[in-house]
Structure 1
Amino acid sequence: MNDLFKTLSDPTRRKILELLKEKDLTAGEISNNFNISKPSISHHLKLLKNVDLVYSERRGQHIYYSLNTTVFQDIIHWILNLKNNGEER
């Protein structure tokens, strides 16, 4: 969980997640929304994949990145448990 929150602390990675909320994108399509190098975008995508926030799928010659909504559901469940003092809903 610590790695997850550390990964989410970066504004570039949060912006990537916002872009992927709209639709699956290639690394090139993601990088078009930033003024940083493509290797930097690849590094951010790798970190997002390492904590399972994003997954990738090859489609033909391209690799598309998608949100892993299951992880977000786990985060929400954890936060709700904190709110409810650890009591299950």
Structure 2
Amino acid sequence: MTDSATDVFEALAHPTRRQILQDLKDGELAAGAIAARFSASGPTISRHLGVLRNAGLVTERRDANRILYSLASDRLALSVGDFLSAVCPEQIVLRQVRKGRGAKATEAGEAIA
């Protein structure tokens, strides 16, 4: 059995699946609408959606005879974030420094205004 991070990164490995995730960032789409955006066959897109679903990156719900897909953005963010934190712990420090600079810049801007 593979671990969940492996499933996520395997799902992200294919450009069609990454494009599907990007297409879902603005909201729910029907399977047919997703398939219409690609030159690949419907069954091929269905398999890609299955990989994304099995990795927990998308959710699906039925509406009559349609299947609607949504991005599970928390799962994606947590999986990639956990990996980056383990591999590049300095990224956590850099984010905190950037946030601190952003807060100081905002305070300075308010003081000037």
**TM-score interval (norm. to shorter):** 0.7 to 0.9
Query: Where in structure 1 are there 5+ consecutive unaligned residues?
Result: none
Which residue of 2 is the match for residue 10 of structure 1? 14
The alignment of Structure 1 onto Structure 2 pairs a total of residues equal to 87
In 1, the alpha carbon distance for the partners of 2:50 and 2:59 equals: 9
- Which one has a larger percent helix, Structure 1 or Structure 2? 2
Which residue of 2 is the match for residue 39 of structure 1? 43
Query: Where in structure 2 are there 5+ consecutive unaligned residues?
Result: 97-113
Which residue of 1 is the match for residue 85 of structure 2? 80
The alignment's TM-score, normalised by the length of structure 2, stands at 0.69
* SS in structure 1 of the partner of residue 34 of structure 2: helix
Counterpart of 2:12, as a letter, is L
Counterpart of 2:51, as a letter, is L
In 1, the alpha carbon distance for the partners of 2:73 and 2:36 equals: 24
Task: Tell me the C-alpha RMSD between the 2 structures.
Answer: 1.9
The alignment's TM-score, normalised by the length of structure 1, stands at 0.86
Provide the identity percentage.
36
Structure 1 residue 6 displacement after superposition: 1.2
1:60 aligned residue (55, 58, 64): 64
Which residue of 2 is the match for residue 22 of structure 1? 26
